Chains A and B, each alone.
Chain A
Amino acid sequence: MHPYIPHTTDDIRKMLETVGMKSLNDLYADVPQEFIYKGEYNLPDAMSEDEIRHFFEALAARNVKMTCFAGQGWYDHCTPSVIPYLTQRSEFLTAYTPYQPEISQGTLRYIFEYQSMICALTGLEVSNASMYDGPTAAAEAVRMAVASTRKKDTVLISSTLLPQVKEVVKTYASYAGIVIEEIAESDGQTSLEALTTSLASGRVAGVLVPNVNGYGIIENHIGFADATHSAGALFIEYCDPSSLAVLKSPAEWGADVAVGDGQSLGIPLCYGGPTVGFMACKKEHLRKLPGRIVGATTDRDGKRCFVLTLQAREQHIRRDKATSNICSNQSLMALWVTIYLSLLGPKGLAEVNERSSAAAHHLCKELLATGLFTPVSDKPFLKEFALDYKGDARALHKALADKGILAGVVIGDHRICFAVTEKRTREEIDYLINCVKEAAL
């Protein structure tokens, strides 16, 4: 047999005898024989651990390691070594969903802590146990807005949201009969005027805007919540959770719901997954909040403990009337960010943002000083900014890629969005600037 399959020939013989069968094939006697696959399985030969290592090392060698100056929702922040050390503990890693609370207090408690920390960052009162990622969390928030207001079918989303967020939201909406309208931008951010005009239709159930937009600009949302609420709609902020260490929180902007992607909280880039999506809201919307939720209670002896609660909203009970179809979420990644936030604390997280921001502003200034770029906006930014290159942006990007530098993300023919984190050294930043100057020659 195989290391993962412990049965000896003798075991199999005895077990077949117990079930009254002669061979393993007999177990499939109720299957129409035409469906029993008799062909060859076109799989590679079984490998040993060492062979597997060699196989993947060869594959990994076909990836180019690049110094990351790209963002667009995915940031190369530092990952403390403590985190994988703890999340790899098998009692966390190999545990099932905590449906039996008596032997899952570990999982339930860290989810409770995670919920609490998301509330601390967003300023909102309740959070769920996690979603797949930021864009799907946004799509769920859009559905939640429509479900909350019963008769309205339109949700307004800012044109300045990251493209992946807009696309996932539109995909979900297109099947659910929800109308999505983009709110135009003005001077680098979502336009309040455009928003107000669109709200006048009376059919808007929700409004989704980013706290930091696709150009890295920190948006000013004064008046947005008021306008949205006057129209009877839900106000949803899409946020980079790391930025909430320093920036105005969704609660302070008057949001009803906040969503975003937790990758910026120390999760490795890992080609985009796994990550964690978060969703928090005001208490009054609790019953419409999708996803698992952990709550505190006591056991029969009065001991404090934690359980999955409000499960009647979920798919396994409510079925087609459930708030969402979500079952597995990203529990271990919620643990990841919980440990990250515990290690960094509010001051550490603020420092991450301040250093990233200082480095980003330095890079921006130096790039502008080369005379090769013009700014896209004079609006304030945090750790990511967009510049228009006077030449062919794609060619520049390629030239720098050949030098092992991921020089931002190209948008269109001329625009490049650069992001800098606390992980980038002075040498790396200077090298980027020099390569840019060289490429232009």
Chain B
Amino acid sequence: MAKVVTGLKYAETHEWVKVEGEFAFIGISDYAQQELGDVVYVDLPADGEYITKGEDFGAVESTKAASDLIAPVSGTVEEVNTALDDTPELLNEDPYTNWMLKVKLLNPSELDTLMDAAAYEAFCGK
């Protein structure tokens, strides 16, 4: 059973968002990391780049799959979790603590289109 953390927002493409003021942390859900298998590489944008809701901003690679990361919200990249460069398996160990990006939200109303924990859990159960 994939773990779903309350208090986060979720996209249908299995990214989660944690809002902190005008910023948001973005990561992938437990469901996503389970589907991928052992993560071997994470391709993320650089500081200062824009991400646009609905468009891909990077990718997560395992030995047997490569998944695009689809931006759940739009914003500018404040910080990238560089620990994932050397230790991409952190995403398998704990995909919620180990965020990928911190962005400055461009359009907070986009959050309304995301699912809450209960809705996401139901979505995954389908």
Contacts and interface: CB of A to CB of B under 8 A. Distances in A.
Interface of A: 287, 311-313, 317-318, 321
Contacts of A313: 61, 66
Given A312-B61, A318-B66, A321-B68, 14 more contacts: A287-B41, A287-B43, A311-B63, A312-B40, A312-B41, A312-B62, A312-B63, A312-B64, A313-B61, A313-B66, A317-B65, A317-B66, A321-B59, A321-B66
Nearest to A321: B68
A315 to B, nearest CB: 11
From A287, A312, A318, name the one whose CB has the most chain B CB atoms within 10 angstroms: A312
A281 to B, nearest CB: 16
Interface of B: 40-41, 43, 59, 61-66, 68
21 contacts: A287-B41, A287-B43, A311-B63, A311-B64, A312-B40, A312-B41, A312-B61, A312-B62, A312-B63, A312-B64, A312-B65, A312-B66, A313-B61, A313-B66, A317-B64, A317-B65, A317-B66, A318-B66, A321-B59, A321-B66, A321-B68
A435 B40 CA distance: 64
A311 B64 CA distance: 7
Nearest to B40: A312
Contacts of B41: 287, 312
Nearest to B67: A312
Contacts of B66: 312-313, 317-318, 321
A429 B120 CA distance: 79
Contacts of A287: 41, 43
Contacts of B65: 312, 317
A321 B40 CA distance: 18
Nearest to B49: A150
A370 B121 CA distance: 87
Contacts of B59: 321
Contacts of A321: 59, 66, 68
A396 to B, nearest CB: 56
A311 B41 CA distance: 12
Nearest to B60: A312
Contacts of B40: 312
